């Protein structure tokens, strides 16, 4: 599986911090949200963000992608739920997409 952290338009609520970085590149303590996801998932993740930021924060796609909301903290329970997703499924909290698994972003 290929993991991608997406802004899902949540970056607007975090301006001006997110003018220059995706939501997952914001530090929460000593680590960024991205680094916390990489530790929990034990793999590298890429970003799906605004076009003008995509060069600095590249997107890596494969034929099996898990797209995760980049503004959410990684927990063991959440990682288990995300890893249990099958192609075409999504994980929701209320009316908000937390993650989905797809062949194309």
* Span 38-96, pLDDT tens digits: 999 999 999 999 889 989 999 999 999 999 999 999 999 999 999 999 999 999 999 99
Distance between CA atoms of residues 98 and 92, nearest Å: 5
Would the pLDDT of 100 be above 90?
yes
- Separation between Cα atoms, residue 73 and residue 56, nearest integer Å: 22
What is the model's pLDDT at position 20? 82
Q: Let me know: does 21 contact 84? Beta carbons within 8 Å.
A: no
Look at residues 66, 49, 74 and name the one whose alpha carbon lies nearest to residue 100.
66
What pTM was estimated for this model as a whole?
0.89
């Amino acid at each position: 599986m290929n993991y991608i952290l997406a802004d899902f338009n949540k970056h607007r609520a975090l301006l001006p911090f997110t003018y220059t970085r995706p939501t997952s590149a914001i530090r929460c303590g000593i680590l960024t949200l991205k680094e916390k996801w990489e530790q929990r998932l034990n793999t590298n993740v890429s970003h799906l963000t605004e076009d003008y930021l995509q060069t600095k924060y590249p997107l890596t796609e494969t034929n099996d992608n898990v797209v995760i909301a980049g503004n959410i903290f990684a927990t063991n329970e959440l990682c288990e739920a995300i890893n249990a997703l099958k192609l075409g499924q999504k994980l929701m909290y209320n009316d908000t997409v937390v993650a989905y698994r797809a062949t194309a972003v």
